[in-house]
Amino acid sequence: MSTATTPLLPASSHYAEQWHSINWELMYRSVRGLQVRIAKATKKSDWRQVKRLQRMLTRSFAAKVIAIRRVTENRGKKTPGVDGETWSTPVKKWEAIGQLKRKGYKPKPLKRVYIPKANGKRRPLGIPTMRDRAMQALYLLAIEPVSETTADRNSYGFRPNRSCADAIEQCFVNLSRKASAQWVLEGDIKGCFDHISHDWLIGNIPMDKAVLRKWLKAGFMESGKWNLTDAGTPQGGIISPVLANMVLDGLEAVLESHFGRKNTKASYKTKVNYVRYADDFIITGISKELLEKEVLPLVKAFMAERGLELSDEKTLITHIEQGFDFLGQNLRKYNGKMLIKPSGKNVKVFLRSIRDYLNSHKTAPAAAVIAKLNPMIRGWCNYHRWICASETFKYVDYRIWKMLWQWCRRIHSNRRKRWIKEKYFKTVGERNWVFSAPKLKGEDGHYRLLSATRVKIDKHVKIRATANCYLPEDEQYFERLKMQRLKKSLAGNMKLWKIVERQNFKCAVCHQQFHSQDDWDIHHIVQRVNGGSDNSSNLMMLHVNCHRLLHNRKEGESFDSLNS
């Protein structure tokens, strides 16, 4: 019986007949159980057991369908590789399960594209085929419990449940006190993803060496010509960020072996602390000489072993009173008080993106402009809402208002200012000059432009440095953390809050806990065409794929039978 047509569910006595008949709760539970065992074996340094469990996981039906679900639901799901293929239908996804086999697997070259960087240069990006993406996602399920267990405590980039806000908060912890370090080494690795040593990766990454070697040597297609890759991991591959993290992990331990762990006598003398997000990192120190003559040579030797080197232009040593930019935010002490604000460069880039949109959509309807700008403003403000950003938010509101006023004047050059003001800028409560547009015919009210100053400045609760989401002892901690962050993401929307609270913060189909960064849909239990209302009692929150699954169930099939 072909696995491409009738795969067997793990720990179950029946067959899944199609993509929409898969029991997702059982799939996640099966994979999670193996991941926990891998993390425990890694903690004990039982590498033989790790290898055995990884092999079991990558051959399981549950891991394969989860890998396929991931690559067919992310932002790149409609972007094909060199073969031009996408898995856009349930039939293609179901048939893809049989393609995820190690035996005979040969990855295709990456499709090379370029994306612009902030400095005007272009960053190369490699796009794998759907099959190669799914294979990487499959092996990522097996390697991530290892990377999380062996990771540096203060590494925050491309790790589950960690974010830029955590890294910035750790910088504040290291630099804010009167007795804290005064000097900061800002590290930047030259072309990190492009220069990682293949030999180091193959010799040190605890995963299937044959598959890893095939990915690294697959090459890329550019202008119809195949090119060899002899170093680096492809930017664009799902597994690449985790591999890069594992390459850079270990620097914190090297620094601690020379200068002492935090809160020890040795560390009090030097105040050497380390924070990393992806390939950007800072190291604090008690003096400029310490960072130049002792810390920097250690870092360079660590990088050289992995085929990497620091950028001389971007690697700087700065006094905290001069301030420095890290992850789009400026950290500086003013008369001994530490303040973190959005960096000037980050603000300029954001405002430029809004100006470019308005300049390229001179005749767009006001409602379309609001629909485009609101997510941009909300996303930028939510990123900076954890720091001292209230004054910057006021400045951003003023600049956006000025751009919109010029946009309106340009459209209605033959109208008086008062007419333009009355048409586009309304008074809402105590707020004046709110950019607005009437809703569609048959709907009352107006669309309103989001004000940056209306976004509440809040305090970010940093994740515990040693917490591991794959170990049972930290499970309750992560449940509380996810719930706290989900509450903050839904703050102000009481209707959504009631729905997700009623569901115990879990999707009603796959029973997986929602994350604050998840995409979700609202489902009507009784459809509106059948007289269902928009009351919260008739609504439920579902993952996008689960919502699709629910609408594709057979007629007459009960909701509970989806996970039976």
Region 219-228: mean pLDDT is: 87
Between 51 and 193, residue with greater pLDDT: 51
Instruction: Give the three-state DSSP class for 426.
Output: strand
Q: Give the β-pairing of 220-222 and 110-116.
A: parallel
Q: How far is CA 506 from CA 451, 499, 518, in A?
A: 31, 10, 11
Structure token pair of residue 152: 């540096």
DSSP 8-state class, residue 8: B
Q: What are the pLDDT digits (tens) for 83-101? A: 999 998 999 999 999 999 9
CA distance 85 to 202: 29
Structure token pair of residue 304: 């050289």
Say if residue 11's pLDDT is above 60.
no
Give residue 9's pLDDT: 39
Sheet holding 337-342, edge to edge: 324-326, 329-334, 337-342
Give residue 5's pLDDT: 40
Structure token pair of residue 163: 């974010």
pLDDT level of residue 263 (50, 70, 90 thresholds): low
CA distance 51 to 178: 48
Q: How far is CA 230 from CA 128, 193, 216, 463, in A?
A: 17, 12, 8, 37
Q: Give the β-pairing of 431-438 and 539-543.
A: unpaired
Q: What are the pLDDT digits (tens) for 435-464? A: 999 887 656 678 999 999 999 898 898 999
- Residue 25 carries which side chain, given as an amino acid letter? E
* Domains in the chain: ranges and CATH: 12-150 (no CATH), 151-196+231-339 (3.30.70.270), 344-454 (no CATH), 472-554 (1.10.30)
Q: What are the pLDDT digits (tens) for 174-208? A: 999 999 999 999 998 988 888 899 999 999 999 99
Q: What are the pLDDT digits (tens) for 113-142? A: 888 776 667 778 889 999 999 999 999 999
Region 500-521: mean pLDDT is: 75
CA distance 381 to 180: 29
As beta bridge partners, residue 124 has 114
Q: Which residues of 79-118 are buried (b: 16+ CB within 10 A; e: fewer)?
A: eebbeeebbeebeebbebbebbeeeeeebebbbbeeeeee
CB 198 within 8 A of CB 234: no
CB 238 within 8 A of CB 133: yes
Q: What are the pLDDT digits (tens) for 456-472? A: 898 898 999 999 999 99
CA distance 564 to 480: 28
CA distance 203 to 187: 26
Region 403-412: mean pLDDT is: 95
Q: Percent of the chain, pLDDT > 90?
A: 63
CA distance 151 to 148: 5
Q: What are the pLDDT digits (tens) for 513-555? A: 776 566 677 787 887 666 677 777 788 888 777 877 777 764 4
- Residue 255 carries which side chain, given as an amino acid letter? L
- Residue 473 carries which side chain, given as an amino acid letter? E
Q: Where are the beta strands (DSSP E) in 41-138?
A: 110-116, 122-127
Give residue 410's pLDDT: 94
Give Dmax over CA atoms of the chain in angstroms.
78
Say if residue 109's pLDDT is above 80.
yes
Q: How far is CA 282 from CA 314, 321, 368, 434, in A?
A: 12, 16, 42, 41
Give residue 77's pLDDT: 86
Give residue 549's pLDDT: 74
Give residue 429's pLDDT: 84
Structure token pair of residue 336: 């001994």
Say if residue 317's pLDDT is above 70.
yes
The pLDDT mean for the chain works out to 87
- Closest by alpha carbon to 510, among 466, 547, 462? 547
Say if residue 474's pLDDT is above 80.
yes
Q: How many CB atoms lie within 10 A of CB 232?
A: 22
Q: How many CB atoms lie within 10 A of CB 200?
A: 15
The alpha-carbon radius of gyration of the chain (Å, integer) is 26
Q: What is the pTM assigned to this prediction?
A: 0.85
Q: Which residue has the tokens 């048959």?
A: 442
CB 518 within 8 A of CB 552: no
Give residue 467's pLDDT: 95
Q: Percentage helix, strand, coil, to 5, in the chain? A: 50, 15, 35
Say if residue 556's pLDDT is above 90.
no
Say if residue 297's pLDDT is above 80.
yes
